[in-house]
Amino acid sequence: MVDSGVELREATWFMPFAPGPGFPINTRLACRFGHRLCWPNPRRSVAQWGFEEPDQLWVDSLFQSYWATMLNPRRVSVRVADHPMHIARLSKPLMKALHELLACAHNIITPNETTADYLQSEFGGYIKLGPNGVDVAHFEQEREIPA
């Protein structure tokens, strides 16, 4: 076995008001401050591990955006995987939270050109394409259900 020097830590937090669909947890405040009601406190846990100022923070969900405000990362990379039609359905507060998250990002990565074009037109900035092998157009076509 090769020792990579990487230490993985597993953590579980109870979030009574975890951001998600439906009011009041589909608000910008829930995205930014919901972690303050967690037990145990994620900020203290991360500080105990020595990771309160990470070199790189990867965020792949709008509902994890509190890490960008809670920690003091040198760089923030955001992976936006949703199809534009799902992004367009976000409530106004969540869309504003997405704008805030993308504004603080140093890198914005998306797996397909459709989403990259949408993000470019809606949010501007440089969007990096990181394909994951899924052709979104495949799912936009009507198909028969297998028997």
Q: Are 103 and 125 in contact (CB under 8 A)?
A: no
Q: Are 80 and 119 in contact (CB under 8 A)?
A: yes
The span from the CA of 88 to the CA of 27, in Å, is 16
Query: In what helix (H) or strand (E) does residue 108 lie, and over which residues does it extend?
Result: strand 107-110
pTM: 0.66
Q: Residues 63-69: contacts with CB within 8 Å, 24+ apart?
A: 63/18, 63/19, 63/20, 63/31, 65/31, 65/32, 65/97, 65/100, 65/101, 66/31, 66/32, 66/33, 66/34, 66/35, 68/101, 68/104, 69/32
Across the chain, mean pLDDT equals 76
Average pLDDT rounded to a whole number, residues 106-134 = 84
pLDDT at 132 > cutoff 80:
no
* Structure-block tokens of residue 134: 């899924």
- pLDDT of res. 13: 55
- pLDDT of res. 33: 67
- pLDDT of res. 8: 56
The span from the CA of 93 to the CA of 99, in Å, is 10
Q: Is 61 helix (H, G, I), strand (E, B) or coil?
A: coil
Lowest mean pLDDT among 9-23, 65-79, 133-147: 9-23
